[in-house]
Amino acid sequence: MSAVVFARHAMTPAERLRDAGWVAFVGLILGIPLVGLTTVDVGGRLGVETRFGLLAAAIAAVFAGRLLLRWAIDQARERKQARDRASTATAADRAHGAQRVVNVLGWVALGASIALPIVFSDNRYVVDTATTVLIYVMLGWGLNVVVGLAGLLDLGYVAFYAVGAYSYALLSTQFGWSFWEALPVSGAMAATFGILLGYPILRLRGDYLAIVTLGFGEIIRIILVNWTEFSNGPNGISSIPRPSFFGLDFTRSAPEGSQTFSGFFGLEFSPMHRLIFLYYLILVLALLTHAFVSRLRKLPVGRAWEALREDEIACQAMGMNTTNIKLSAFAIGAMLGGFAGVFFAARQGFISPESFTFTESAIILAIVVLGGMGSQMGVVLAATLLVLIPEFGRNFAEYRMLLFGLAMVLIMVWRPGGLLAHREPTVRLNALGKTTTTGGTAR
């Protein structure tokens, strides 16, 4: 219970050592079965291998880390107290300043993202990675509507991503629909799934909802794996047509009666054209998502989402139809996920159920949570970090999910609201009772 708050004095060195020793002891107990011992395959049977050197190193690191952490926490607390005493700025002023920085950061990020393919026009790797970042940004913004604004924890978001991707894949390979025809239909399909799932379950409370959505995500994946006639099972769907630029294909030679992109503009053919086109396509989709969500936040429905997140019972008491409000958030989030899925299928040209596991849902959720729930700019920051960190060091890649999990725990413990946490409602009443709008543009 947090009812009792103990006044904490700064620790003496002896106390610090004892504290770190205790943590190292716990680390030792936890480390013995997993780090210290391991089973390896010895000629068809398992044999035990000891790694006590590694264990000792890990324990030493834990001991030192704990000492350092304790010290850093104490230092930070002292500095904060000193600053609080010295400065006269109120919390509101500081939040306002931070908001300005975030706004400027948003414009810088926008400029950089537009300029990126021009600067790196012949670097395939950079453009490809940036496209991946943007897909996650778009997914994060979509999920942000559900988790960040409406406060509904959705652990099966990847299901809608999969519905979008498979809708486009099937519509294009079976019925020959083009990207632009399939995009709205697939989005609507995902939204329909969102409503179908959401209607019965949205009465549930936060954590039950999370588990049911998780179950739904898994059901969709299991069906995709097992219903071979429909989805081609684990082999997935390949040779999905790529989007064209107003009917101009990005191929070396066009079929009879049409033109290629390079031929039409009199350019020399380059495979980079398509990558850059895809990059700008997802950038436009993401920016549209952002504009759409930012507008929604100022409409009654967006305000209702935020009100619902803050206090559901109060909303009911005010006569709001909570089911419909939740349903709208769920459907819009699903639709945005569906759009991202369509783009994903069109970009990869191949999809299989492998791409839509729970891990993917967890990554998207991590992006929203790490960024700060409800913060649009935070999503961009987190998506960039989470995609780039494993890219920087390839041998780092196997630690990626480990660090994900650790970061989720640590950020929750350190800042339960996320990196750019700032759960200010977009609209609030001021003291005079006049409605004012606080910067909800570039968050």
Interacting residues with another protein (CB under 8 A): 1-4, 26, 29-30, 32-35, 37-41, 45-48, 147, 151, 153, 155, 200-201, 203-208, 210-212, 214-216, 218-219, 222-223, 225-226, 313, 358-359, 362, 365-366, 369, 373, 398-399, 401-402, 404-409, 412-413, 416
Pairing of strands 45-50, 427-429: unpaired
Q: What residues contact 334, with CB distance under 8 A and at least 6 apart?
A: 142, 160, 163, 190, 191, 193, 194, 195
Q: Are 172 and 350 in contact, with CB atoms under 8 Å apart? A: no
Q: Which is nearer to another protein, 268 or 398 (CB)?
A: 398
Q: Which is nearer to another protein, 37 or 272 (CB)?
A: 37
Kindly state the smallest distance separating residue 80's Cβ from another protein, in Å.
18
Q: Which is nearer to another protein, 46 or 101 (CB)?
A: 46
Q: Which is nearer to another protein, 35 or 296 (CB)?
A: 35
Kindly state the smallest distance separating residue 274's Cβ from another protein, in Å.
35
Kindly state the smallest distance separating residue 174's Cβ from another protein, in Å.
24
CA-angle at 92, arms to 87 and 93, nearest 5°: 55
Kindly state the smallest distance separating residue 324's Cβ from another protein, in Å.
18
Kindly state the smallest distance separating residue 200's Cβ from another protein, in Å.
5
Q: Which is nearer to another protein, 218 or 306 (CB)?
A: 218
Tokens of 268: 């020399």
Q: Are 293 and 306 in contact, with CB atoms under 8 Å apart? A: no
> Whose structure tokens read 């496209």?
131
Kindly state the smallest distance separating residue 194's Cβ from another protein, in Å.
15
> Whose structure tokens read 């999920």?
143
Q: Which is nearer to another protein, 158 or 240 (CB)?
A: 158
CA-angle at 224, arms to 405 and 212, nearest 5°: 50
Q: Which is nearer to another protein, 20 or 240 (CB)?
A: 20
Kindly state the smallest distance separating residue 115's Cβ from another protein, in Å.
35
Q: How far is CA 347 from CA 279, 280, 286, in A?
A: 10, 12, 15
Q: How far is CA 387 from CA 279, 340, 348, in A?
A: 16, 16, 17
- Length of the chain, please? 443
- CA-CA distance, 168 to 242, in Å (whole number)? 11
Q: Which is nearer to another protein, 24 or 345 (CB)?
A: 24
Q: Which is nearer to another protein, 133 or 159 (CB)?
A: 159
Kindly state the smallest distance separating residue 439's Cβ from another protein, in Å.
23
Strand partners, 41: 46
Kindly state the smallest distance separating residue 409's Cβ from another protein, in Å.
4
CA dihedral 145, 105, 365, 149 (to 10 degrees): -20
Question: Closest Cα partner for 328 from 351, 308, 356, 312?
Answer: 308
Question: Closest Cα partner for 117 from 253, 282, 261, 246?
Answer: 282
